[in-house]
């Protein structure tokens, strides 16, 4: 069946008529939407929309994540012919998923971007779809959090990261990928005491009450213990999952702006994501994939798998 389909399918991002099911289009050909889903701004009948937020003007070190959404989409072409491994169901066949394209913005007005993101994501949520975002640097998550909190109320956060991103910054006009969570906590968008950060391996003197399961904890205790602890912290509260690709060790994700050694292996991240299935995830993102520093698209491939896992994590609690 797949061989015959591969002979006929091309540019599935525009030509596919069905909203569900695999795609057997040749990996090396055609338009590169995320997982070969249909590009559309009309989300009627769509369960989950994937959108790109190609902004990287808030980085402290190496730029390049503005190219992340494009690279993640291209890397995702390796996946749409099979059900995501280990989840026990095929999210591509059971749920209608669309690629909403990227957000437009004025690159010369970076101070306007957080509100642009909030409005962009709120527009997706307002059409009745869930939203998974592809960054961009980690500052893009603030607008996403605000949009989701506008619909669901104050959120729990499950953050995979090498850095806490809670450095003090009371100037809310600044846009900084290292302070977005500080601002989200201070304004009441997120609830630190029911939020958790996984893979941390940089110092921050004030964690603001966020629970931290740092990288050594993951290595010493294993993914199953980590996942159970995450579920205990978050409970059934609406939660947002943000995955900074630098949560992975640079061996698994070299293409990022602020790599830190001693991070998670890709198999650990995959197991934790599967292990927290059942949390009340309302949205999520994968950020900080920087193609200029990415050898053989290693980081983009990891980012595409994370984004697919986020689709599965959202869908898991909504099956049936």
Tell me the binding residues for Mn(2+): 138, 161, 163, 165, 244, 246
Cα 86 from Cα 269, distance rounded (Å): 13
Q: In what order do the strands lie in the sheet with 130-135?
A: 38-39, 97-102, 48-53, 130-135, 281-287, 239-244, 156-160, 196-198, 211-213
Q: Which DSSP string corresponds to 60-121? A: SS---GGGHHHHHHHHGGGSTTSPPTTSSS-HHHHS-EEEEEEPP--TT-GGGHHHHHHHHH
- What tokens does 266 get? 């890709």
Q: Where would I find the H helices in 153-263?
A: 180-186, 215-221, 223-234
Q: What is the DSSP letter of 19?
A: S
Helix 223-234 / helix 266-275 crossing angle, nearest 10 deg:
40
Annotated binding site: 138, 161, 163, 165, 244, 246
Residues facing residue 51 across a β-bridge: 101, 133
Within 13 Å of residue 225, how many CA atoms lie on the same side as its CB?
A: 10
- Around Cβ 252, how many Cβ atoms within 10 Å? 19
């Amino acid at each position: 069946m797949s061989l015959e389909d591969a002979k006929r399918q091309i540019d599935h991002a525009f030509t596919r008529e069905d909203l569900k099911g695999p795609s057997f289009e040749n990996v090396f050909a055609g338009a590169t939407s995320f997982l070969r889903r249909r590009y559309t701004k009309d989300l009627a009948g769509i369960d989950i929309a994937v959108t790109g937020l190609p902004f990287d003007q808030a980085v402290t070190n190496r730029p390049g994540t503005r190219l992340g959404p494009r690279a993640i989409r291209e890397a995702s072409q390796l996946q749409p012919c099979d059900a995501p491994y280990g989840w026990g169901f095929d999210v591509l066949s059971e749920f209608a998923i669309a690629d909403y394209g990227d957000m437009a913005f004025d690159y010369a007005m970076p101070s306007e971007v957080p509100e642009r993101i909030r409005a962009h994501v709120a527009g997706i949520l307002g059409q009745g779809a869930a939203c998974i975002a592809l960054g961009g640097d980690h500052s893009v998550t603030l607008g996403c959090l605000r949009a989701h909190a506008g619909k669901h109320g104050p959120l729990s956060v499950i953050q995979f990261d090498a850095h806490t991103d809670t450095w003090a910054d009371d100037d809310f006009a600044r846009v900084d990928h290292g302070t977005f969570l500080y601002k989200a906590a201070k304004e009441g968008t997120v609830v630190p005491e029911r939020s958790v950060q996984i893979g941390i391996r940089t110092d921050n003197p004030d964690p603001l009450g966020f629970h931290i399961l740092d990288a050594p904890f993951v290595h010493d205790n294993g993914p199953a213990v980590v996942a159970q602890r995450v579920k205990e912290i978050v409970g059934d509260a609406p939660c947002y999952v943000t995955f900074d690709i630098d949560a992975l060790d640079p061996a698994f994700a070299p293409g990022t702006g602020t790599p830190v050694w001693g991070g998670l292996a890709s198999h650990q991240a995959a197991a934790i994501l599967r292990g927290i299935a059942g949390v009340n995830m309302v949205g999520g993102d994968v950020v900080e994939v920087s193609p200029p520093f990415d050898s053989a698209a290693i980081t983009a491939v990891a980012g595409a798998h994370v984004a697919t896992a986020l689709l599965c994590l959202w869908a898991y609690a909504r099956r049936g």
